[in-house]
Chains A and B, each alone.
Chain A
Amino acid sequence: MRKILYNFLFVEIVKALKLVFSHYFVKEVTLQYPHEKTALPNTQRGALCLLRYEESQEERCVGCDLCGAACPSACITVVSEVDEKDGYVVRRYASSFDIDITKCVFCGFCVEACPVNALAMTKMYEYSTINKRDLIFDKTKLYDIGEKLHREAKGYLVAHNQEGEDEEVVSQYRYRFPSSRQEEPEQEEKK
């Protein structure tokens, strides 16, 4: 009897409709990508970038290749060079810096290894392309990303406790070559 009534009154349908219509009043979870995007946390491991010092716009990277040594998928290639002035080395930098982003596993070891905090990760994750070569990020591209997404990169480093917010803390990571700091008159004599 009860069963007949149950069938007659379309209770199941009503139940289903109730569920459906109740969703009109629930906050939606699906994001309409690419029109909408999630807010990512600062610790997000996205595309890598290279940073410059804020005050002088000098490249932070000294080309030490520790990132390359730390990389588990061997996707970083660094070639370093030095700038000389009056026979003294004043700067060491990476003359070429390539990250093969197709190989990258986004582990973030390179950022952790970097002694001068030149590398950071951003929240950028959209870099699909029709040319595979574009996925080998060279030095220019990495600095471009760093410039464009500087806040994200900085946020990553702060979130990972690698850097403080203010520049003073940053400057203690800087390395200055011994000879570039002082111009002793004696040095001339020695030569």
Chain B
Amino acid sequence: MSSVGKQSAAPDAVKKMVELTIDGQVVTAEEGSSLFNAVKWTGTQLPAMCYHYSFSPFGSCGLCLVEVEGKKHNVRACTAKVTEGMVVSTGTDKIVEARKGAVEKHLKTHPLDCPVCDKDGQCELQDMAYDLEVYDIKEGKRKQIPEDTRSLVLDFNMERCILCGQCINICKEVQLVDALCFYKKDKQKHVGAHGGETLYCEFCGDCLAVCPVGAIVSKFSKYTFKPWQLKKTETTCSFCSDGCSITLETNARDIMVVTSELSYESKWGFDVEPGEGHGGICVRGRFGFQYVMSDARLSKPLVKTEGQFVEAPWFKTLIDIGKRLNDIKATHGGQAIAGLISGRCTNESVYLFQRLMRSILETNNIDTAARYGHMNSVLALRETVNIGGATVDEKQLALSDAILMIGSNLTETNPITALRVKASMSEFAGKLLVADDTETKIMKLATHPLQIAPHSEGDLIQGLVKAVIAKGLTDPDFIEKQSEAYAALKEAVARISETRVSEKTGLEWEKIEEAAILLAQSKRGVLLWGEDIVSEKGAYQNVRRLIDLALLTGLFRKEGAGILPVCEENNEQGAVDMGAVPEFLPGQVSYAAEDARRQFANAWHASLPESTGGSPGLSLSEIIEAAHRGEIKALYLVGENPLGTLPASMKVREALEKIDFIVCQDPFMSETAEIADVILPAATFAEKEGTYTNIMGAVNRVTEAFDPRGEARPDWKILTDLSKHLGHPVQYHSVEEIRREISQMVPGYYAQDKVHETSDLPENFAEDIPERYAAPAQDTRKNTMTLSLQQVLYHSGKLTTRDKGLMKIYDKAVLHISEADAEALGNLQTGDSVNIKSPLGQLEVQIEITPELPKGLVHYPVHFNDPPVKDLLATEIDAKSKVIYFKTGAVTLEPSASLDLRVITPEDAAEDTMEDAGKNAAKNLSAEDAA
């Protein structure tokens, strides 16, 4: 353990120690470190309001005063540096008086509006005044500053502010965002955005959490609670795959505020080891809690009778579902039934779901949201090194000395993992290499930014592999053990031309070489890839190439090094681990393996469907194809919404309409639910028990904060009840029992520190190497734009578009376009409209000029369906992993005709509403195009 300073030094750097005397006790401390920390380790806790271990001391509150021999004035311990032979006393009467004076100084200008202040009861100034017995305040003077309520989320009450600077420092040094500063207005010091502008930042809310007084308050929960009224429930965030631990503070039925460790854990950093997170959360976790209380939540089971949904009681509905499913199984066999489960369900629900589908309904046609990308990583890793996910944990990531990040906009998709990456660079002097087609926020911070041309990730990886081999930096262990594979790789990459790679990627070869050298020579390197790799065409091959790179640079072998494939939804990894894909049984055991199947069949007292031929069951795309052919008679959806997610070119609606019986289990009415036969209201994350598995494989607990709204029920309960009516009751009375079964069937799944042991490469590893490194076919795309669906920081999937708060922060369904393209289209400005055209149709959409984008690339937020830009994209299905690619596509843009002020006729208006209706728009228009 050591005190975390902000010196930005590698974790293994040697530090000089000195001796000093504190209150008669001789202690050793790092030279140049803060005196505050040295005092802290003697066991004396100095009072302080502006100190926080996660950033450098600021010295504004004046409470940590100590006496240092030889110094005339009192010294602020936090900003004082430790020197040899220092003699310090911390508790003399003079010091206590001085501290009292400091608190009094703050209180003189404080409004003392504690009864209405949100911080009342948790306020550090209150505590200090109480502890130091400051009761008389002479001639108080209020600052008379009106509240700054301009920002969308945070209100700044400068009357309460004690100017401690913690908000500014955490923003600058931990978040590396630097959105806040002190500014002067009317001769008064304010805190806010630079230049006193309206604040629009990442809204992580860490400033809110560290504010010792109530100067920064959240608009979403202002004046609605007092801390002692609320019940605290520690649970896991339900949005991205970081799986942050959050605290829901609730009254009987509502979440009032979401906090994290940062709000409560000791700000002195007693137990914090280097590389550990500071306990903060992001905008989604902190402010995206209102969807749980949304009025749009389903509250009762709905059954479609004569085209209309009618409310029905649970018992009857479940009996009916059981009967229908049993009938279909009896007449058409299990193969006619399919199930899809979302990557947001708990591990226990997923386990139960796949057990129900496999053992009772006798079908292996199950799939999950991982099929939109993450399956590429899982399958490629399983086939080569036989692991099922990441091999690093949070701490290893932060302590890494070189991170290569490819195709991941990590600050937007996984903000807290991004903080660990930032820490590796800012705190531990690691190198950060970011390869992306857009100049993302993390690329701007990176030590080695590698901005590549769109679609050239594959070329870059090939180039990196070549550079590692050509420079002779290959891990000797790999050469020795896998000489055959190494030889094959060496031969294959010899054919790759350096000039071609730099031409395609738009990077000089030296830069690629430098990146390869850094990664190969790193002691604790980490290779991280994200959605731009796994959800774009050729993803499986790209992941295989990345694994080659990791093998060559020895990332699987070195201590502290590893790989980190990033997925989108909070439990995508868990859903795959729990076997919600046809390829795997729980524990990522191959379904094709006879003995494993028998083992599960015995445990479940049932027979499992046979694995015939190459495919044991249907994946998502195959389920839709089979539905088109009329082979699927029943579909059970748990939180999945294929109609809202997949583009129109998959013809999902037609496919689903051919299915006789669709059950949809969802907290909300979704597009797919509208055409379902039965809708079952499900509980949200705040209302259920279970676990989520994050990208690093850590299993985090989800705890129930209050009872589900209306008659909604948690997924596991619905499935358990349903099993009774399917004639094969599974006897679970609580989530705990399911968890016990999982730990029996998948030993060690809930273990805290999992070891990621890679096994040797399969014998046929060398076989497809030549194919992988063959020069790709000439790109035929010309003069077109690339449209890419991207995630936005403020949203997670479609779920958060139901959240009032997050929609208030970000609801811009706009096309992000580069400056150059906007100019080429006729000097378009932000807010203008363009027609976006693809062979599948055209749409009118507003634009926003984004300087970070390169020419020829446009981004659209994947979360929004209005206008339905995703419907313009063609789909492609990976031959190997069966992942559906619809993230990018070629489009053309032209200035919208509606720029001319035309008179809106009634016909036009009718057309507009049709477009608003959304789903059919693209189809109609494409029909028009054809005509």
**A residues at B contact (CB < 8 Å):** 62, 64-66, 68-69, 80-82, 87-89, 92, 115-116, 175, 177-179, 181-182, 184, 187, 190-191
Contact = CB atoms under 8 A, between A and B. Distances in A.
Interface in B97-125: 111, 113-116, 120-121
Given A62-B115, A81-B223, A178-B145, 10 more contacts: A65-B229, A66-B115, A66-B120, A68-B228, A87-B149, A88-B146, A89-B147, A92-B116, A115-B114, A191-B150
Contact of B146 (A68, A80, A175, A182): A182
A177 B116 contact: yes
Contact of A178 (B121, B144, B198, B224): B144
Interface string B912-925: 00000000000000
Interface string B7-47: 00000000000000000000000000000000000000000
B442 to A, nearest CB: 32
Nearest to B115: A64
B226 interface: yes
A69 B121 CA distance: 10
Interface in B217-231: 222-224, 226, 228-229
Contacts of A178: 111, 144-147, 157, 159
Contact of B223 (A87, A89, A187, A190): A89
Nearest to B121: A69
Contacts of B115: 62, 64, 66, 115-116, 175
A62 B114 CA distance: 11
A190 B147 contact: no
Nearest to A69: B228
Contacts of B223: 80-82, 89, 92
A178 B149 CA distance: 12
Interface of B: 111, 113-116, 120-121, 144-150, 157, 159, 198, 222-224, 226, 228-229
Q: A interface, by DSSP: helix, strand, loop or mixed?
A: mixed
A161 B77 CA distance: 42
Contacts of A80: 223-224
B226 A64 contact: yes
Contacts of A182: 144, 146
Given A66-B115, A82-B223, A89-B223, A187 B146 contact: yes
Given A89-B223, A184-B146, A187-B146, A175 B228 contact: no
Contacts of A191: 150
Nearest to B148: A190
Contacts of B148: 190
A143 to B, nearest CB: 18
A187 B115 CA distance: 26
A93 to B, nearest CB: 10
A35 to B, nearest CB: 44
29 contacts: A62-B116, A64-B114, A64-B115, A64-B116, A65-B229, A66-B115, A66-B120, A80-B223, A81-B223, A82-B223, A88-B146, A88-B147, A89-B222, A92-B116, A115-B114, A115-B115, A116-B115, A175-B111, A175-B115, A175-B116, A177-B116, A178-B111, A178-B146, A178-B147, A178-B159, A179-B146, A179-B147, A181-B144, A190-B148
A187 B149 CA distance: 10
Given A80-B223, A115-B114, A116-B115, A65 B228 contact: yes
Nearest to B224: A80
A107 B121 CA distance: 22
A188 to B, nearest CB: 12
A66 B228 CA distance: 9
Nearest to B226: A65
A191 B152 CA distance: 11
Which of A179, A181, A191 lies at the interface centre, i.e. has the most chain B CB atoms within 10 A of its CB?
A179
A87 to B, nearest CB: 6
A114 B654 CA distance: 65
Given A178-B157, A178-B159, A64 B120 contact: yes
The 6 closest A-B pairs by CB, nearest first: A64-B115, A115-B115, A82-B223, A65-B226, A92-B116, A69-B228
B231 to A, nearest CB: 14
A187 to B, nearest CB: 6
A64 B123 CA distance: 14
A89 B116 CA distance: 11
Nearest to B112: A175
Given A178-B145, A184-B146, A68 B113 contact: no
A175 B159 CA distance: 13
Which of B146, B198, B226 lies at the interface centre, i.e. has the most chain A CB atoms within 10 A of its CB?
B146
Contacts of A175: 111, 113, 115-116
Given A66-B115, A69-B121, A80-B223, A88 B149 contact: yes
